[in-house]
Structure 1
Amino acid sequence: MIPTTYLFVPGNRPERFAKALASGADRVILDLEDAVLPADKSQARHAIGAWLATLENAARANILVRLNDALSPWHTDDLEWLSAQPLGEVMLSKCESAVQVASVHARMAPSAQVLPLIETVRGVMGLNDIVSSPHVSRLAFGSIDYQLDLDLPGPGFALDAAATAIAMASRAADLPPPVAGVTPELAAERVNADLLHARALGFTAKLCIHPTQVGVVREALRPDAQTLAWASRVNSAWQTGSGQGAIQVDGRMVDKPVVLRAQRILALADLTH
């Protein structure tokens, strides 16, 4: 099942780890980057490693760790630590190349994956290279850091252009649709609005910074009853009339592209159930 909600937890707050895992988020991201001060990063690595060792494989499969970026002074220590961790997936901050992905993956099991977080102009410019790596699980957009990198005053065309490029690169590489960036505000209305905007740009998942955002995102992604009923009617009619080039549903002609959209709606409903 493709995850739709990713919940960040500071890596130096082990008392929050289990609560995050029980929050209902599809994935929990234990953070070694922005949420942890430089002086606390070693402690955070130790806390994460100790907790991972207590988990069963099924629970551990829902855990990612966000590493410091390849140009940071903490990246080498992250990689040395990673070599001893039973992780199936990690997030790489400010990813800008397939070489960076490969360097991280070299410290993991062959079947492990890397989730590049695109947060810079260089990262957007290097999308084709990044998605060429066979070890990439999907892409995520660090929209706040991207605004800072390009010195944008706020959301707008430039931010949407980068988001669209990430969605297009994901589709071209047959990756799952990307993960939208965080919403700093906790108000449900703001989270919902940001998610719907990201959805219009081709994103089907979101990074969360608080457990309350998880349910808001899942509800915003869930097709409404009317849309779901339409999708069910289309899919059922298509299955019944298989072999026909087009069918009629609700007085309208329906061909294969419309059926595929209906099937995607049904699949999204399953993911957000």
Structure 2
Amino acid sequence: MRLRSLLFVPGDRPERFAKAATSGADAIILDLEDSVPPANKEAARAAVADYLAGPREVVTLVRVNPLDGHMTAADVAAVVGARPDAIMLPKAEGAPSIAQLDTILRSEAKDGASLPAILPIATETPAAIFTLGSYREAKDRLVGLTWGAEDLPAAIGAAASREADGRYTEPYQVARSLTLFAAHAAGVAAIDTVFPAIKDEAGLAAYATRARRDGFTGMMAIHPSQVAPINAAFTPSPDEVARAQATVDAFAANPGAGVLQIDGKMVDAPHLKQARHILSLAD
């Protein structure tokens, strides 16, 4: 499952579902949490279930409400029978949260039905930061790991999570980095958080490019206009692919070599691993 771009859609706006599915995003996230006011939750569940029951053009996730509330079971009961591709779990706190959600999923799924994979939002509470390493224990249930920079500052009384120029302040740089390493430790997709400035196309492109540089494999979006720049950032350029292929070919031609020289530069096993990764992204 390729997850370069994951586009949020409010669950109570069913007229937007089809447009989101044809936006070019690798996945859409039908949201039952923050974007849906309490009075609209039931209608949103019904709209999401109706959409899931029909033909799908793209990987479709559903973001349920957090486990510390009273709505998760109702969300799951409404949608799991229509088999979403994955459930996004906000305010997740490590492997115990995955086990708790699995209990709910099993109680609501039809006999013999396979359970959808889970995409936790892994940094939205202070306690969550200290559980990031535990996702390795639940890696078989995960489709990826992502983080958020909005709920956490609110939870600790921080004034903001970003500097005036848009960069994250130090605590949230740490949360982002730990999520990145936790995802790779679990062997699942590392999904960066949203870029909130919808009209800042240059800023989005720069942020997404840095995210891929740092090791993220995809990014969430909050508007269809953000999908194309995100996809571009997480798709290797022809020059990158050519250099990666040259590295792979050089080692294939010299199977006993540990170090080679290509275009005047020394390359070794880590470079070969990176080249293979680039080719997998381009495939």
Question: What TM-score results when the alignment is normalised by the length of structure 2?
Answer: 0.87
Q: Give the secondary-structure state (helix, strand or coil) at the position aligned to 1:218.
A: helix
- Counterpart in 2 of 1:160? 173
- Counterpart in 1 of 2:249? 236
Task: Tell which deviates more after alignment, 154-163 or 128-137.
Answer: 128-137
- Counterpart in 1 of 2:224? 211
Matching residue's letter, 1:79: V
Q: Is residue 3 of structure 1 aligned with residue 3 of structure 2?
A: yes
- Counterpart in 2 of 1:74? 71
> Contact 1:105/1:114 (CA < 8 Å) preserved in 2?
no
Superposed CA deviations along residues 195-228 of structure 1, whole A, max 9, x for unmatched, are 2333344312100011111100111223344333
1:34 Cα offset (Å): 0.8
Over 3 Å counting, the alpha-carbon distance change for 1:251 and 1:225 in structure 2 is same
1:105 Cα offset (Å): 2.5
Matching residue's letter, 1:121: P
Gaps of 5+ in 1: none
Over 3 Å counting, the alpha-carbon distance change for 1:130 and 1:266 in structure 2 is closer
Over 3 Å counting, the alpha-carbon distance change for 1:85 and 1:76 in structure 2 is same
Over 3 Å counting, the alpha-carbon distance change for 1:87 and 1:224 in structure 2 is closer
- Counterpart in 2 of 1:86? 83
1:175-254 alignment runs, 5 A limit:
175-176=188-189, 178-186=190-198, 187-254=200-267
Question: What TM-score results when the alignment is normalised by the length of structure 1?
Answer: 0.89
Over 3 Å counting, the alpha-carbon distance change for 1:113 and 1:237 in structure 2 is same
1:102 Cα offset (Å): 2.2
Identity of aligned residues (%): 34
1:255 Cα offset (Å): 1.5
> Contact 1:144/1:181 (CA < 8 Å) preserved in 2?
no
> Contact 2:48/2:79 (CA < 8 Å) preserved in 1?
no
Gaps of 5+ in 2: 163-167
1:166 Cα offset (Å): 1.0
Alpha-carbon RMSD: 1.9
- Counterpart in 1 of 2:130? 125
1:123 Cα offset (Å): 1.5
> Contact 2:29/2:61 (CA < 8 Å) preserved in 1?
yes
2-side partners of 1:105 and 1:49: how far apart? 19
Q: Is residue 260 of structure 1 aligned with residue 257 of structure 2?
A: no
- Counterpart in 1 of 2:23? 23
- Counterpart in 1 of 2:42? 42
- Counterpart in 2 of 1:147? 153
Q: Give the secondary-structure state (helix, strand or coil) at the position aligned to 2:255.
A: coil
